[in-house]
Amino acid sequence: MTDTRRRVKLYALNAERQWDDRGTGHVTSSYVDRLKGVSLLVRAEVDGSLLLESKIQPDTAYQKQQETLIVWSEGDNFDLALSFQEKAGCDEIWEKICQVQGKDPSVDITQDFVEESEDERFEDMSDTAPPVELPPCELNKLETINELIATCLSSAVRREKLSTALEMEGYIRKLLNLFHICEDLENLEGLHHLFEVFKNIFLLNKNALFEVMFAEDTIFDVVGCLEYDPNAKIRKKHRDYLRQMAKFKEVIPITNPELLAKIHQTYRVQYIQDVVLPTPSVFEENMLSTLSSFIFFNKVEIVSLIQDDEKFLNELFTHLTDETMEISKRRDLVLFLKEFCTFSQTLQPQSRETFFKTLASLGILPALEITLGVDDLATKSASIDILSYIVEFSPSMVRDYMLQQVNSSEDENLLLNIIIEQMMCDSDPELGGAVQLSGILRLLIDPENMLASINKSEKADFLNFFYKHSMHVLVNPLLSNTTGDRPTKEDYPTVQLLGLILELLSFCVEHHTYHIKNYILNRDLLRRILVLMRSRHTFLVLSALRFLRKIISLKDEFYNRYIVKSNLLSPVVDAFLRNNGRYNLLDSAILELFEFIKMEDIKSLCVYVVDTFGKALDKVEYVQTFKCLRLRYDQQQDRIGERERSTSALDSVPSILRTTRYRRDPRQLEEEEEIWFNSEDDDAEDNGADAVTPSHTAPIATNAQQVQTVALTTSPTSPIAFSKANVISPKANHSGGSNSPIIGASSNGGSSSPSTLSPSTSPVPPSTDVQSPSTMKKALVDYDGDSEEEEEADTDPIPGEKIVEEVEPKKDIDSAVPVISPVDGEDDDVESPNKRAKLT
């Protein structure tokens, strides 16, 4: 079994003058070569790691407090403390420290004084300053005593000497005897001196003196001395309050006398610090740190003693969950539990986690389900405080309990729904409890503090649970109040509650993107919320607007389409126009919303705003927001118009022509090529020898209104400009006055292009070859750049001369059916001027 005598808690004093728990372990004292001296070593009881390695310096002042504490300072402003589980262990280590420093173990401080600076040594002229000699403790010496103590406060050395003298001579008890005499004699002058004396003794900041003053038989006399403030017109009767008004209630009998004494002492000392002592000046704030430490360690000890008493805690929770318990009795139990949890805030995180796990195992959450619903304001308020302590420290523990309830409880009995219901029915006009519960709810649904692991996803599980079992309870007051075009109820508690609900929903929009989006879109929740834009309470209107702003800030097109389709900006614009340009928060908030739409260029909302509300908003000229929105809208419409025109022009050209301008996937080109070839072969077979006639139009020029053609003209003023990209003019002015389409193409690699001649022109001479579809395709898909052949052919035509491309005469021209002559091994992707149709 582990030796508990040396079991300690290590504390360090932080910058806020609060003690931080550095861990629990076992202390030993041994020689350390590296430090060249006997040192105190504390090793953690969990993993054996070294928590403390402190050499016992011969000039360091160690103090023994409350029989189980050893406190000392290392360096400047770095105080350490060891809190022993057992007195015997404290005595052993204290003897070792005294042995190293050559001191008598019977003392509670190993050094007579502490040197703080060279100035103080110079001031005292010697390290061995003479002790402070206290005058006789008599009535006629009170003024002298007061002056002596006051003068000692300015020097650390003198404070140490004075503290030692007061402690060794039992001077405090002698002063308290004088207090009784002065009070009996109604000697106000003496009582005023005693007030100053004891106020200055507190400023000595010595734990040994506090233990004497806070003993059971002396604490009331000390409080009595502090009642006679010479600056107060009326004496405050603190003793009467502590004895008569402050009643200690034992809701469950405490059988441990040590625990009972600690509770009484802590309450009274806390009262002295908070109420009795005058407010310290700026120079005196740090002089009461030991008093704060005294209270702190007392609270830690009280929590530990109660936590170790299993019988007491079991009895406490048995009474709490007893539904037949009287309201007053349950109130006292809950108030005790609240005070217990308040004391636990002094514990460090590791100890506090153990504390709350103990409470959870005893059933604190089921008990709170009962106490939250009790029709007693004090009980409900204390229950909310307890729940707040638990959720703030460990929300995951509460969420685990709630998830376990799914299969064992009805929805109305779930703890989460009880929290929401209590938020809805808060009887406080200011909704203090509802505000506190909404904060608890926000912590519970905050994904930032949810855990995720390989086998468990708390975020997914809890959010699914929340939206399935509890979200409808949260939004129910909102839905019931927005059934028409205006809010149904406008009383102050109702609108305050709706404001809290909207804050939570805004939080959900920001953090629960997927779940809340489905909920809003499926239940048309945003439209119902925007009904509140017609409320007469401006803060509620702003809450609804803030919710909409959260949604728009996400720039989610699902939300944007929903807003446009349902015309959900209409209530916002109506509120803006009703405000009529008044310079207030509502006006600024709505303008900021539209400014965001403009700055972020949310096109769907920009078009919707201008199309739907443009006429009304164009009249607003005191800001440039709506003019800029209109400008953005016009620019966007121009771009759309240009895109549509280019698309329609492109669509009017056969697919093979479009390939000259837009690069496409080579595989797509090959597929179109095959389709085109096959269609030409089929036409050739069907038409036979009639495939080419003088008055017949070629297949690619079947619609004169859709295809652009190059005009053939004999006029010397109308030269034809050849284009590498086969630029075609829709109209041709012919000498014969005919508008029949005529196609002319630039030379591409020496191949010829088919030409469709109008009846007014001469037919193609028999020697003219007909270009094959393959050659036409090759000429049209040359978008990679000009070939050498194109450069040679890119010359100006002769004015007045008909454009007919020269082709090499072929034999057997009687048959005009084009036949594709395959070229073995030729790559279709390579531009080849030699791929031509042969007439057979």
96-141 pLDDT tens trace: 888 888 888 888 787 754 444 444 443 443 344 567 888 899 989 9
Spatial CB neighbours of 397, under 8 Å, sequence gap ≥ 6: 356, 357, 360, 390
> CB–CB of 538/586 below 8 Å?
yes
Q: What share of the chain is helix, strand, coil (3-state, %, to 5)?
A: 55, 5, 40
The mean-pLDDT minimum among 259-273, 281-295, 435-449, 605-619 falls in: 281-295
- According to the model, what pLDDT value does residue 403 have? 92
Give the model's confidence band at 687: pLDDT under 50 very low, under 70 low, under 90 confident, else very high.
very low
**Most distant pair of Cα atoms in the chain: their distance:** 152
- According to the model, what pLDDT value does residue 561 have? 95
Report CA-CA distances (Å) from 318 to 252, 321, 323, 333, 726: 11, 6, 10, 11, 96
- Residue 745's CB is within 10 A of a number of other CB atoms, namely 22
Confidence check: pLDDT of 2 > 60: no
| HSE value, Cβ hemisphere, 13 Å, CA-based, for 695 | 3
How far apart are alpha carbons 507 and 522 in whole angstroms?
19
End-to-end CA distance of the chain: 112
How far apart are alpha carbons 152 and 142 in whole angstroms?
16
Task: Please give the average per-residue pLDDT across 550-563, as a whole number.
Answer: 95
Distance of alpha carbon 783 from its chain centroid, rounded?
A: 54
DSSP codes, 697-760: PPGGG--TTTS-BPPP---TTSPPPP-TT---BS----TT-----------BTTB----PPPTT
Strand order in the sheet with 19-32: 50-55, 37-44, 19-32, 7-13, 79-84, 69-73, 62-65
- According to the model, what pLDDT value does residue 811 have? 40
Most confident range, picked from 200-209, 556-565, 648-657: 556-565
Task: Please give the average per-residue pLDDT across 365-394, as a whole number.
Answer: 93
Give the model's confidence band at 670: pLDDT under 50 very low, under 70 low, under 90 confident, else very high.
low
Percent over 70 (pLDDT), the chain:
73
Confidence check: pLDDT of 649 > 60: yes
Confidence check: pLDDT of 41 > 50: yes
> CB–CB of 379/331 below 8 Å?
yes
Task: Please give the average per-residue pLDDT across 204-214, as a whole number.
Answer: 91
Residue linked to tokens 């509300």:
613
How far apart are alpha carbons 499 and 164 in whole angstroms?
62
The mean-pLDDT minimum among 73-87, 375-389, 669-683, 786-800 falls in: 786-800
Residue linked to tokens 């082709």:
807
Please give the structure tokens belonging to residue 729.
């003019």
Give the model's confidence band at 678: pLDDT under 50 very low, under 70 low, under 90 confident, else very high.
low
Task: Please give the average per-residue pLDDT across 643-664, as a whole number.
Answer: 61
For helices 310-320 and 327-344, give the axis angle rounded to 10 degrees. Answer: 130
Between 613 and 783, the higher pLDDT residue: 613
- According to the model, what pLDDT value does residue 65 have? 82
pLDDT tens, residue by residue, 705-747: 333 333 333 333 333 333 333 333 333 344 334 333 333 333 3
- According to the model, what pLDDT value does residue 502 have? 96
| Residue 658 DSSP SS3 | helix
Give the model's confidence band at 350: pLDDT under 50 very low, under 70 low, under 90 confident, else very high.
confident
Please give the structure tokens belonging to residue 444.
């519970």
- Mean of pLDDT over the chain: 77
How far apart are alpha carbons 686 and 699 in whole angstroms?
14
Q: Which helix (H) or strand (E) holds 52?
A: strand 50-55
Burial label, 237 (beta-carbon count in 10 A; 0-12, 13-18, 19+): middle
Confidence check: pLDDT of 794 > 50: no
Task: Please give the average per-residue pLDDT across 401-418, as a whole number.
Answer: 89
Query: Taking Cα atoms as reference points, which of 572, 558, 451, 552 lies closest to residue 506?
Result: 552
Spatial CB neighbours of 594, under 8 Å, sequence gap ≥ 6: 609, 625, 626, 629
Query: Taking Cα atoms as reference points, which of 804, 717, 799 lies closest to residue 756?
Result: 804
Confidence check: pLDDT of 608 > 70: yes
pLDDT tens, residue by residue, 10-28: 888 887 777 888 888 889 8
Between 271 and 729, the higher pLDDT residue: 271
- According to the model, what pLDDT value does residue 540 have? 95
Confidence check: pLDDT of 522 > 80: yes
Please give the structure tokens belonging to residue 795.
């010359």
pLDDT tens, residue by residue, 282-325: 445 556 788 888 998 999 999 989 988 888 999 999 988 888 88
How far apart are alpha carbons 123 and 129 in whole angstroms?
10
Confidence check: pLDDT of 476 > 50: yes
How far apart are alpha carbons 100 and 42 in whole angstroms?
18
| HSE value, Cβ hemisphere, 13 Å, CA-based, for 41 | 13
User: How does DSSP classify residue 452?
Assistant: B
Give the model's confidence band at 348: pLDDT under 50 very low, under 70 low, under 90 confident, else very high.
confident
Confidence check: pLDDT of 420 > 80: yes
- According to the model, what pLDDT value does residue 418 have? 95
How far apart are alpha carbons 432 and 429 in whole angstroms?
8
Confidence check: pLDDT of 379 > 90: yes
Task: Please give the average per-residue pLDDT across 699-710, as a whole number.
Answer: 38
| 50-55 and 7-13 beta bridge pairing | unpaired
In one-letter notation, the amino acid at residue 514 is Y
Please give the structure tokens belonging to residue 557.
């097109």
Between 784 and 589, the higher pLDDT residue: 589
- Residue 365's CB is within 10 A of a number of other CB atoms, namely 19
- According to the model, what pLDDT value does residue 650 have? 64
